[in-house]
Amino acid sequence: MAANRARLILLTALAPVSWGTTYAVTTEFLPADRPLFTGLMRALPAGLLLLALARVLPRGAWWWKSAVLGALNIGAFFPLLFLSAYRLPGGMAAVVGSVGPLFVVGLAALLLGQRPTIRTVLTGVVAAFGVSLVVLKAAGALDAVGLLAALAATAAMSTGTVLTKRWGRPDGIGPLALTGWQLTAGGLLIAPLALLVEGAPPALDGESIGGYLYLAVANTAVAYWLWFRGIGRLSATQVTFLGPLSPLTAAVVGWAALGQALTALQLVGMALAFGATVAGQLRAGGGGAGRATPGRPGASRRGSFTSTEESRRKDSMDVTGGALRR
């Protein structure tokens, strides 16, 4: 039982680890300054691929539930995250995103009736502090729009995580179909925005096509499937506390592949954030993980949200540098 749970946590952790490679892939292989088009190319092809594999569409209330979850986890989150990274100084978007576990703890109290514990709150604070040491650098005044966008992105993904846990899945539907529904809905939401703001798609070369294929398949289709699968079987708090692995991975990739230096202070921050991630997987009192019951939207409301849990989120556009640009 413990071995199965450890394997599930490790598989779920592959999602934020994959997201941590987004910054390097974007800066090295993709067209510059096309965040909305990149978000669209990540979400919609991945969603259509998973829909083709699952071969099932939503029914009844799951049409609007999928639209809501897709808007929160993908359609709103992607553009807001990119906007915040462009407008905030180096790494600040990642720092704001790292408070995702604290957002989830608060939303758990409101939507799942789960009281937060002191240990959970302290773990979330340590995680955010560790990430800040890794990615935050000296910079000028904060941009109000960028800060609001980062907070909104974190709130959107955190709300989507908790609602995904609360609603569970309909009878006979696995995480593959649920992920496909959300990615498709989110991609369709981004598409008109990308066309309106950025215009026609840019010309693509071989490197760009390869980069987009990686983002759509491994970084989005597989990663989000693992993420939503984890939400269904672990507590939302545990899942969200895996989020700091994203900026930590981006920092390591920047050091190993892009020649970016890591200072002693950053290494301390990495140790703190990783320690908080591990602590976030420890369940108080050894309670069950609280897997959602298919077909029972409220089945996971009680006993499924343990006292631990990114941040959603983080697609890690920029964790060591600042904005997604060449």
- 137-147 pLDDT tens trace: 645 566 788 78
| Nearest residue to 135 via CA among 326, 264, 321 | 321
**CA 310 to each of CA 94, 259, 294: distance values in angstroms, whole numbers, following the listed order:** 10, 27, 24
Host domain of residue 144? 8-286
Q: Give me the amino acid identity at 252.
A: V
In a domain, 24, yes or no: yes
Indicate whether 297 belongs to any domain.
no
Smallest CA-to-CA distance from 48 within 171, 180, 179 is with 180
Task: Please report whether residue 309 resides in a domain.
Answer: no
Three-class DSSP category at 154: helix
46 has a pLDDT exceeding 90: yes
108: Cβ contacts below 8 Å, ≥ 6 apart: 114, 116, 162, 236, 237, 305, 309
Within its chain, how far is the Cα of 238 from the centroid?
A: 13
What is the residue-wise DSSP string for 55-109?
A: -----TTHHHHHHHHHIIIIIIHHHHHHHHHHHSSTTHHHHHHTTHHHHHHHHHH
Amino acid identity of 309? E
**Would 292 be classed as within a structural domain?**
no
CA distance 231 to 242: 11
Residue 307 is assigned to a structural domain of this protein? no
Helix, strand or coil, per DSSP, at residue 132: helix
- Residue 111 per-residue DSSP state: H
Taking residues 6-23, what's their average pLDDT? 91
* pLDDT tens digit sequence for 183-242: 999 999 999 999 999 999 999 999 999 999 999 999 999 999 999 999 888 887 888 889
The confidence score (pLDDT) of residue 307 equals 34
**4-13 average pLDDT score:** 92
Structure tokens at 124: 């979330």
In total, how many domains does the chain have?
Answer: 1
Helix axis angle for 245-257 and 22-29, nearest 10°, is 40
Q: Name the average pLDDT for the chain.
A: 80
Is residue 130, in this structure, part of any structural domain at all? yes
Per the rule left: phi > 0, alpha: psi between -120 and 50, beta: everything else, 286 is: left
